[in-house]
Amino acid sequence: MAKKTVNDIDVHGKRVLLRVDFNVTTDPDSGAISDDSRMRLSLPTINLLRRDGAATVICSHFGRPNGKSVDKYRMTAVRKRLGELLGLEIVDAGGPSGDATRIACGSLKAGQVAMLENVRFDPREEANDDSLAKDLALLADLFVNDAFAVSHRAHASTAGVAKYLPAVAGLLMARELEMLGKALESKDRPVVAVVGGAKVSDKIQVLTHLAPRVDTVLIGGGMAAAFLRAKGFGGGKAEVTATEIAAAKQMLADVRPETLVPDDVVVASEFARTSAASLVPANKVPDESLVLDIGPATSSRYSQEIAKARMIIWNGPMGVFEWPQFAGGTRAVADAIASNRQATSVVGGGSTAEVVEQMGLREKFTHVSTGGGASLEFLEGKELPGVAVLIDR
């Protein structure tokens, strides 16, 4: 069901509580912000609220303070950076609870922006405690959720607060829901799903949910071993459960979607950065080795399938891309997707987004989701608590 967004409501003269994901990356030594892209992605929502005459109270988490005040996770640097990005003084509203915070938020004028202290300093946030949801609701007239990446968590500031305030999607949230939704309901065929990652057990739900929605599934990553076993090949020494093999067998037996498994794979005797890589046919994986990437013949067959696609969904690297000798398959697949100009391409998953980013290909993809775990749960067909509470259109 489509959700109402900030574009569907009148925010003029209203106070808006805006949940964002400003969980920025910081330099481990200096603590300085090293990557503020998460902040930049919510600027359109903030600018819209300002332009349309709302007073905005920003709420975010930062790091893992585990319900306690931790100095290095204060919002101070984030607040300062937001001020620079907007060319505006951001009011430090403290809180999230207490009279001073209520007064600071209550006295904001149209167009002004305030920021609360790290909401995860309060143990009630992750417990989704109703009393915090109520405290947050007291600060505003409307709730806007732009934090797709935390919307799979039922926390006070993502789900709870929507019990007490009308709740709509921010522009980033709306884009995530639109693009991930499109990927799962594509009328443009063929739809090709590229699925990899560390283990089949992590991805069974994704495969199950994608199967009736796609035409072709290209299998890579650690789960390749289970598919090789399902075909009656050795598959190497990786532990594969009977359930995983059964799931793989079922997929191979189904006519639609067509499931392709590697013809050749890159193997090593140990799971280590320094392991020597060797290329073997998929039916000749030595019993004492691990499948750590798809091989070049597989990459080129997968690339041909990708070239024919009109919609491409990618979740999970094809190999251990962090180590150069096992990165070839992931790179080839990323390049193939980037080269297909007729297809819509949607990437979900934290590691997969990282690969696209590292390869400098983000602009060549239609949508790279900002939600690691959240995008995975979306592709699994789960209802995300922070999305479910938003008003239906």
Nearest to 119 by CA among 85, 142, 145, 141: 145
**Least gap, CB of 235 to ligand ADP (angstroms):** 11
Active-site residue, 38 included: yes
Identify which of residues 208 and 351 has a Cβ nearer to Mg ion in the complex. 351
**Least gap, CB of 198 to ligand ADP (angstroms):** 4
Rounded to an integer, what distance in angstroms lies between the CA atom of residue 151 and that of residue 390?
A: 11
Identify which of residues 56 and 315 has a Cβ nearer to ligand ADP in the complex. 315
Identify which of residues 159 and 290 has a Cβ nearer to ligand ADP in the complex. 290
Q: Establish if 351 lies at the interface with Mg ion (CB under 5 A).
A: yes
Residue 89 neighbours by CB under 8 Å, 6+ apart: 83
Six-digit token string for 353: 């987004």
**Least gap, CB of 265 to ligand ADP (angstroms):** 8
Q: Which of ligand ADP, Mg ion, none is residue 138 near (CB under 5 to 8 Å by kind)?
A: none
* Size (the chain), residues: 393
Whether 91 and 66 have beta carbons less than 8 Å apart is answered as no
**Using H for helix, E for strand and C for coil, what is the string for 230-256?**
HCCCCCCCCCCCHHHHHHHHHHHHCCC
CA dihedral defined by 205, 184, 196, 211, rounded to 10 degrees? 60
Eight-state DSSP code of residue 362: G
> Which residues of this protein are in contact with ligand ADP, per CB under 6 A?
196-198, 202, 221-222, 291-292, 315-317, 319-322, 349-352, 372, 376
Of 15, 199, 229, 331, the active-site residue reads: 199
Choose which of 182, 249, 350, 391 interacts with Mg ion (CB under 5 A): 350
Q: Which of ligand ADP, Mg ion, none is residue 121 near (CB under 5 to 8 Å by kind)?
A: none
Q: Which of ligand ADP, Mg ion, none is residue 376 near (CB under 5 to 8 Å by kind)?
A: ligand ADP
Exposure of 351 in the CB half-sphere (CA atoms within 13 A): 15
Rounded to an integer, what distance in angstroms lies between the CA atom of residue 53 and that of residue 168?
A: 17
Eight-state DSSP code of residue 259: E
**Least gap, CB of 379 to Mg ion (angstroms):** 12
Whether 280 and 235 have beta carbons less than 8 Å apart is answered as no
Determine whether 134 is exposed, middle or buried from the number of CB atoms within 10 Å of its CB (0-12, 13-18, 19+): middle
Q: Which of ligand ADP, Mg ion, none is residue 160 near (CB under 5 to 8 Å by kind)?
A: none
Determine whether 1 is exposed, middle or buried from the number of CB atoms within 10 Å of its CB (0-12, 13-18, 19+): exposed
**Least gap, CB of 243 to ligand ADP (angstroms):** 18
**Least gap, CB of 349 to Mg ion (angstroms):** 6
Question: From the CB of residue 80, how many other CB atoms can be counted at a distance below 10 Å?
Answer: 14
Contacts of Mg ion in 31-90 (CB under 5 A): none
Rounded to an integer, what distance in angstroms lies between the CA atom of residue 159 and that of residue 145?
A: 9
Six-digit token string for 144: 């806007």
Stretch binding Mg ion (CB under 5 A), from 169-177, 263-271, 321-329, 351-359: 351-359
Identify which of residues 26 and 289 has a Cβ nearer to ligand ADP in the complex. 289
Identify which of residues 221 and 385 has a Cβ nearer to Mg ion in the complex. 221
Q: Establish if 373 lies at the interface with Mg ion (CB under 5 A).
A: no
Identify which of residues 73 and 321 has a Cβ nearer to ligand ADP in the complex. 321
Q: Which of ligand ADP, Mg ion, none is residue 291 near (CB under 5 to 8 Å by kind)?
A: ligand ADP
How many of the chain's residues bind Mg ion (CB under 5 A)? Answer: 2
DSSP-assigned letters across all residues of 155-181: -TTTTGGGGTS-EEE-HHHHHHHHHHH
Active-site residue, 221 included: no
Of 83, 94, 234, 350, the active-site residue reads: 350
Q: Which of ligand ADP, Mg ion, none is residue 251 near (CB under 5 to 8 Å by kind)?
A: none
Q: Which of Mg ion, ligand ADP, none is residue 317 near (CB under 5 to 8 Å by kind)?
A: ligand ADP
Q: What are phi and psi of 387, to 5 degrees?
A: -95, -40
**Least gap, CB of 120 to ligand ADP (angstroms):** 22
Of 163, 372, 373, 382, the active-site residue reads: 373
Identify which of residues 294 and 376 has a Cβ nearer to Mg ion in the complex. 376
Active-site residue, 199 included: yes
Give contact residues for Mg ion (rule: CB under 5 A).
350-351
- Kindly list the catalytic residues: 38, 199, 350, 373
